[in-house]
Structure 1
């Protein structure tokens, strides 16, 4: 009877033990136990599989006894040094284990001390948190990286720059901060759409990344937003930075293939150097940004190291922008007129309207100074409308006063052409003033070539109104002959840089001859700007130039002076 009871108890104990091991084995967590010298006394199948071994081959052995070449365990900082002699339960927040398969597994582990008589052991239960870690890493990556290009973002840039400067102050090292902005990118977005713009940004970032990887692997590039990028150049001085900037500009000489089409775009690059240009992040960022805008105002597609003189320049720019906002309301603008002469007959056939600005605080401000600011801020739209209306109104008044009517040439910026309401505003101005549209000439610049087919459509719509179209400053911009043939143009204006001193420069003379020959092939009239001497005037006549304007004929004149010199004499 007593023996049966004992047997039943043993049977139940064995069953419980078997059940317990089944529970342990079926548990998806990794479970194992070590005695006080680190020998494995228990483990489940999940852990053995993770280690790529059989349970029998690991029981009774320490980690030193087992071949560890198949995995590497990275202990977290808060793990007990003497992990096999714990006095209380230990919670290890995270640890990374490289499994036998080579896969990195992240686990969260609880280690519990087990004390039996004079011996002790540690039971460990690890939960797989790999999926959660990957999600957290993804969230962290998204917080610190740009969604479009995958580049580190502004937040990461600020953090990395702060760390770089702290290190640089300890080491007394030089470092460069580079700001890069894509020229006229907004126009690409506006005309071709944001999808094309986004693809172009991605291609630009990939090309710069490749340059850094191949030749400047200590540098890092970031996208701040829009078309603005920054590059950190650790240990680069001014000379090193300039050399890098030249390499960077070379990367933009070839077009970018986007959606089967090739697009050309250029960067403006500003550079500040630590500690020369500032010893804190905000100052260095501001100065690099200032240098970049300095480049934009001087033709773009270049680089510039920051200088203290730029501060004065941008103070004036700020003042110009401030005063420009009230200039129309205060009637501070005036149009001057420069005659255009037929070089064969020596007769005036038209005049170009040229805006002048006299401000009470700033004095006379040249168009070269304020027009770029007006375009940048969008104020060119109301100013351009004022020029259009005023020039046409003035021409109508003169036509009523003199026998022979003249054409009036009006400069139009790309920013105006891109305005959806521009066509309608031109039409209204012509109709409201009852002028024959053939006496209106709109002068456009070669930068329209950046907008390809979309701009051709707009120009054709303008041409249908009956006005004339002239390409201004020809030879200095972006035009290709293939597009020049598609534009509905009536004339070309040779840029004054080719005309001035032409007789003393054989290269300029050859260029002028070539432009005239091209124009004749395209059945276009040719106007030469900047004619300052009699020799140039006669040479232009000999080689087939149609019209000329410049100081040799007359400087730009006010309304009264133009009427007195050119219109009264024409009666």
Structure 2
């Protein structure tokens, strides 16, 4: 082994204090491991030639073992590059002893700091003095610090919540990117401002108290509201911790989570839960949750009440025993439909413990938990009263309230069913129309109460006569109808004879003997007609034929009756074609303002200029149109034509005024009347306020329906006038409830205004009534100046009559405005 000779300076200063052995002792006892290596080519580390006690202790090898290795053997590093590393800044880096070097035995895995310095001795030889320090603990600490720093930076900069630091003075010193984005600040804007500026005033004192607690070294958790940079209030959940250095709090670190949306959702959930509880617990209808086997899981108070069983006795039990036996199978099938995952509704009935039957409308709703059907919600609606009312309403809709037998509606539906279903041509179905002779006289003489009693007895007698051979209906007033289905004509004759005979027998009405006869008309299906309209018309003709032949008899429709009615039938046939042949025309009679004398409206009046019959008076064809139902399409044509003409006058520059059109009773009660008028107004582009519909008081015969229809008409914007007021059947109560714009005084009163004091009183009353009900009043049939002047004294609003103008063709209206 080569021993390093230490060059000893013989200077007096050193010589006087230390000798050679002292210097050796210095090196040997130096606390840091020191090794000396030779330098190959005076530059690169070569072989170990010395190791002090500390190096021997560190490596766990004897010095002889150490000195048996070269640099490359010991560290497995090339001497040239290693030495260059020692001479630059990389020398501070640690060397890791791995499992292949001689250092493995005691230093495997440890970090060594190797630091070398080349020293040239007095004789010119150069050596490498190498220090080897175990920096494993230092390196671990450094790595931990580095890791901790990275973790803190990751927590700070990449946290999705707000992360910030605050100085002990309360100023913000740093803020993460997510927090800046939430608060809509830049780092420059927020750094340095006091946290007080961000907190709503109500929460500042609370925050301040927590801040002082953290400055004392404690951790705080609290919720406050803060402003973002745009002034929006956010609710945050804050955790604040102190940063302590040398026992002193140097900084406060805060992590805040924006819980604004969470609180909103929680509030909504709470509200939803409250609503659910309100709907469930306080619902007046039974609300139940069943398991999938139909057993009670949860019930509300209404369920207990309707079943008459406490909730604790219901839970876990099946619902089926509560269902009526005859409804159980159907109810199970309906309940199980909810297994498809869709809500389902059905009706059932249950039997209460007291034996009372309850009808229920059931809604079952599937309840899913994590997409799995787990239970069934059920809402029950007690429809017992509703069903009974429906049955009663249905009965009332199809039965005559006076006699209890079927009404006209039921008659028509039954007859239609027979027409559609009868397949045999060998047998006939008969429609028998019965009109009671002289009933009006009896009714007027004895009074309506006695008349009603008589009608009840007639219906009872008819039902008894027909037995199972026919069904009796009260068609209208004193008219009854009978349907005999699938009979031969001989049996129809026998029954008709029995009807005439039995009806002619005296009736006893509270001791008063009433003698009544009947005129009966009969039509046969399919012999005489194949639809309701044809059958009724044939029966009607036969019945009138029976009346013309002395009444108290029956007639079956035949060609002779057809011949007697040929005039009416010819007119009816031509009437059906009149619209298509464009034979109808409208004349217009102006209505004048009583004060300004200007035209304030126009009434459209229908005329029929038949190519076969010539100009037919409305007196002749309007009743026929009413009877046959043709009045409906004719009336629709009148409305459309009047709207078109009024729109055309407006395009020509005439002052816009309403045009009035008469509505027949049959038209008024058409179910699609309002829709048709809306369509016509849309097609003609006429503003609804320029169309006025004139009705008569006869609509008051069905006041509730009339009020509904009138309100629907008013809702689309048209005007309503009541024509011929004072001659009909309406009471003041109905007039008050009708949405009427104009009252029209019947011309019969106007014609007698000069001579008849009663007519003048009636007119004055009508005008006062109209004004008190916010209606304008129009006088019809004004023919003289005297009539007009008298009407003015009563404050009549408008005049219509020959004094001002007769009805004229549309082309003459232009000149009248000018």
1:391–1:408 CA contact under 8 A, matched in 2: yes
**Does the residue aligned with 1:376 lie in a helix, a strand or coil?**
helix
The answer for the alignment partner of 1:332 in structure 2 is 583
2:435–2:479 CA contact under 8 A, matched in 1: no
Count of residue pairs brought into register by the alignment: 325
The answer for the alignment partner of 1:169 in structure 2 is none
- Could you tell me which of 441, 445, 448 is aligned with 1:246? 441
Closer/same/farther in 2, CA of residues 198 and 281 from structure 1, 3 Å limit: closer
**1: CA distance between counterparts of 2:632 and 2:651?**
29
The answer for the alignment partner of 1:55 in structure 2 is none
**1: CA distance between counterparts of 2:602 and 2:740?**
18
Aligned residue runs from structure 1 range 214-253, under 5 A: 228-230=433-435, 246-250=441-445, 253=448
Closer/same/farther in 2, CA of residues 504 and 326 from structure 1, 3 Å limit: same
Following TM superposition, by how much is the alpha carbon of 1:193 offset from its aligned partner in structure 2, in angstroms?
7.1
The answer for the alignment partner of 2:805 in structure 1 is 554
- Could you tell me which of 651, 665, 670 is aligned with 1:419? 670
The answer for the alignment partner of 2:544 in structure 1 is 290
- Structure ranking higher on relative contact order (CA contacts 8 Å, 6+ apart): 1
**2: CA distance between counterparts of 1:202 and 1:225?**
22
Following TM superposition, by how much is the alpha carbon of 1:562 offset from its aligned partner in structure 2, in angstroms?
2.4
Aligned residue runs from structure 1 range 313-332, under 5 A: 314-332=565-583
Closer/same/farther in 2, CA of residues 457 and 561 from structure 1, 3 Å limit: same
Aligned residue runs from structure 1 range 33-182, under 5 A: none
**2: CA distance between counterparts of 1:431 and 1:281?**
45
1:268–1:292 CA contact under 8 A, matched in 2: no
User: Residue by residue, what CA displacement relative to the aligned partner does 1:131-186 show, whole Å, maximum 9, x if unpaired?
Assistant: xxxxxxxxxxxxxxxxxxxxxxxxxxxxxxxxxxxxxxxxxxxxxxxxxxxxxxxx
**2: CA distance between counterparts of 1:385 and 1:474?**
24
Following TM superposition, by how much is the alpha carbon of 1:414 offset from its aligned partner in structure 2, in angstroms?
2.0
Residue 396 (structure 1) aligned with residue 647 (structure 2): yes
Following TM superposition, by how much is the alpha carbon of 1:292 offset from its aligned partner in structure 2, in angstroms?
9.0
User: Residue by residue, what CA displacement relative to the aligned partner does 1:255-309 show, whole Å, maximum 9, x if unpaired?
Assistant: 9699xxxxxx85489xx9x9xxxxx999xx9898327999xxxxxxxx999xxxx
**Does the residue aligned with 1:478 lie in a helix, a strand or coil?**
coil
2:433–2:540 CA contact under 8 A, matched in 1: no
- State which drifts further: 424-433 or 371-380: 371-380
Closer/same/farther in 2, CA of residues 342 and 230 from structure 1, 3 Å limit: closer
**Does the residue aligned with 1:229 lie in a helix, a strand or coil?**
strand
1:268–1:293 CA contact under 8 A, matched in 2: no
Residue 428 (structure 1) aligned with residue 679 (structure 2): yes
Residue 365 (structure 1) aligned with residue 616 (structure 2): yes
1:381–1:415 CA contact under 8 A, matched in 2: yes
**Does the residue aligned with 2:637 lie in a helix, a strand or coil?**
helix
The answer for the alignment partner of 1:532 in structure 2 is 783
Following TM superposition, by how much is the alpha carbon of 1:410 offset from its aligned partner in structure 2, in angstroms?
0.9
**1: CA distance between counterparts of 2:666 and 2:677?**
15
1:328–1:383 CA contact under 8 A, matched in 2: yes
Closer/same/farther in 2, CA of residues 281 and 339 from structure 1, 3 Å limit: closer
Following TM superposition, by how much is the alpha carbon of 1:353 offset from its aligned partner in structure 2, in angstroms?
0.3
The answer for the alignment partner of 1:8 in structure 2 is none
Closer/same/farther in 2, CA of residues 505 and 365 from structure 1, 3 Å limit: same
**1: CA distance between counterparts of 2:728 and 2:394?**
23
**Does the residue aligned with 2:679 lie in a helix, a strand or coil?**
helix
**2: CA distance between counterparts of 1:312 and 1:324?**
18
**2: CA distance between counterparts of 1:444 and 1:290?**
30
TM-score by length of 2: 0.36
Residue 545 (structure 1) aligned with residue 796 (structure 2): yes
**2: CA distance between counterparts of 1:252 and 1:366?**
37
The answer for the alignment partner of 1:202 in structure 2 is 403
- Could you tell me which of 691, 694, 698 is aligned with 1:440? 691
**Does the residue aligned with 1:351 lie in a helix, a strand or coil?**
strand
1:351–1:407 CA contact under 8 A, matched in 2: yes
The answer for the alignment partner of 2:490 in structure 1 is none
Aligned residue runs from structure 1 range 510-529, under 5 A: 510-529=761-780
**1: CA distance between counterparts of 2:652 and 2:635?**
26
Closer/same/farther in 2, CA of residues 203 and 500 from structure 1, 3 Å limit: farther
2:593–2:799 CA contact under 8 A, matched in 1: yes
Closer/same/farther in 2, CA of residues 521 and 200 from structure 1, 3 Å limit: same
**Does the residue aligned with 2:762 lie in a helix, a strand or coil?**
helix
The answer for the alignment partner of 2:297 in structure 1 is none
**2: CA distance between counterparts of 1:292 and 1:252?**
27
Closer/same/farther in 2, CA of residues 349 and 230 from structure 1, 3 Å limit: closer
TM-score by length of 1: 0.51
Following TM superposition, by how much is the alpha carbon of 1:402 offset from its aligned partner in structure 2, in angstroms?
2.5
**1: CA distance between counterparts of 2:699 and 2:657?**
27
Residue 472 (structure 1) aligned with residue 726 (structure 2): no
Aligned residue runs from structure 1 range 480-519, under 5 A: 480-519=731-770
Closer/same/farther in 2, CA of residues 378 and 311 from structure 1, 3 Å limit: closer
**1: CA distance between counterparts of 2:729 and 2:804?**
29
**1: CA distance between counterparts of 2:583 and 2:594?**
35
**2: CA distance between counterparts of 1:458 and 1:267?**
27
Following TM superposition, by how much is the alpha carbon of 1:230 offset from its aligned partner in structure 2, in angstroms?
4.7
Structure 1: state its 5+ residue gaps.
1-191, 206-223, 232-240, 259-264, 275-279, 295-302
**1: CA distance between counterparts of 2:755 and 2:653?**
40
**2: CA distance between counterparts of 1:287 and 1:327?**
23
The answer for the alignment partner of 2:708 in structure 1 is 457
Closer/same/farther in 2, CA of residues 252 and 390 from structure 1, 3 Å limit: farther
1:416–1:422 CA contact under 8 A, matched in 2: yes
**1: CA distance between counterparts of 2:723 and 2:805?**
19
**2: CA distance between counterparts of 1:477 and 1:509?**
18
**2: CA distance between counterparts of 1:281 and 1:382?**
28
Closer/same/farther in 2, CA of residues 201 and 229 from structure 1, 3 Å limit: farther
**Does the residue aligned with 1:504 lie in a helix, a strand or coil?**
coil
**Does the residue aligned with 2:724 lie in a helix, a strand or coil?**
strand
The answer for the alignment partner of 1:261 in structure 2 is none
Following TM superposition, by how much is the alpha carbon of 1:195 offset from its aligned partner in structure 2, in angstroms?
3.1
1:204–1:256 CA contact under 8 A, matched in 2: no
Closer/same/farther in 2, CA of residues 393 and 287 from structure 1, 3 Å limit: closer
2:521–2:541 CA contact under 8 A, matched in 1: no
**2: CA distance between counterparts of 1:484 and 1:337?**
27
Aligned residue runs from structure 1 range 8-47, under 5 A: none
Structure 2: state its 5+ residue gaps.
1-392, 407-428, 456-475, 481-499, 505-519, 523-538, 554-560
Following TM superposition, by how much is the alpha carbon of 1:518 offset from its aligned partner in structure 2, in angstroms?
1.3
**2: CA distance between counterparts of 1:547 and 1:325?**
36
